[in-house]
């Protein structure tokens, strides 16, 4: 952690609103992107706000034993998993959308991206989380283990299951390697 970040975190722990704003400005884009990847774009903004509310309520518990980024990932993942669990108890209504007119090379790329998002949405939350944090956020295995409070073996096992299930889901959705 840089000296600037350490100063901001210390000030946040003292309740400094300016420091809270600085911390938010430094990290909100990363948190938002992770929320989009874990719960979808529709709920990402609200969840980003919830993450920072939780963060500022509990920042006094941050002791510096891990990096601040790892701690922030953990808060974000926990909020996303809690949201996913609560959402699974509510029925969802699918929205009907008009297909985009015309096809193009970029249309093919967007179709692949859409297939990946659909397949990721169908993965169990704990598998989706480990996959997104490793393959998209590029956390190391040790950072994953620390963020998710799991052993390295469990991280590797979940990541393997996620990749295997993702391949099956993509194939079922019509993806061809």
pTM for the full predicted model? 0.74
Residue 116: C-alpha distances to residues 62, 70, 76, 110 (Å): 35, 26, 22, 10
pLDDT in tens, the chain (177 residues): 555 578 999 999 999 999 999 999 999 999 999 999 899 889 999 999 999 999 999 999 998 888 899 999 999 999 999 998 887 654 444 433 333 444 444 456 677 778 888 888 888 989 999 999 999 888 999 999 998 989 999 999 999 999 999 999 988 888 877
Question: What is the spatial distance between Cα 18 and Cα 133, in angstroms, rounded to a whole number?
Answer: 30
**Domains located in the chain, CATH noted:** 111-177 (1.10.10.10)
Other C-beta atoms closer than 10 Å to the C-beta of 100 total 10
């Amino acid at each position: 952690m840089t000296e600037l970040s350490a100063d901001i975190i210390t000030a946040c722990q003292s309740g400094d609103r300016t420091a809270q704003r600085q911390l938010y400005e430094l990290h909100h884009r990363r948190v938002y992107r992770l929320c989009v990847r874990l719960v979808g774009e529709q709920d990402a903004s609200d969840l980003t706000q919830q993450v920072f509310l939780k963060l500022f309520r509990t920042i006094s518990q941050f002791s510096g034993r891990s990096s601040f980024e790892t701690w922030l990932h953990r808060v974000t993942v926990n909020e996303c998993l809690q949201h996913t669990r609560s959402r699974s108890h509510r029925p969802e209504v699918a929205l009907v959308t008009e297909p985009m007119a015309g096809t193009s090379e970029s249309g093919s790329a967007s179709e692949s991206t859409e297939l990946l998002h659909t397949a990721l949405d169908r993965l169990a939350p704990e598998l989706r989380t480990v996959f997104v944090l490793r393959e998209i956020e590029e956390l190391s295995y040790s950072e994953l283990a620390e963020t998710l409070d799991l052993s390295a073996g469990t991280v590797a096992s979940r990541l393997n299951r996620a990749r295997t299930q993702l391949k099956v889901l993509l194939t079922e959705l019509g993806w061809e390697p």
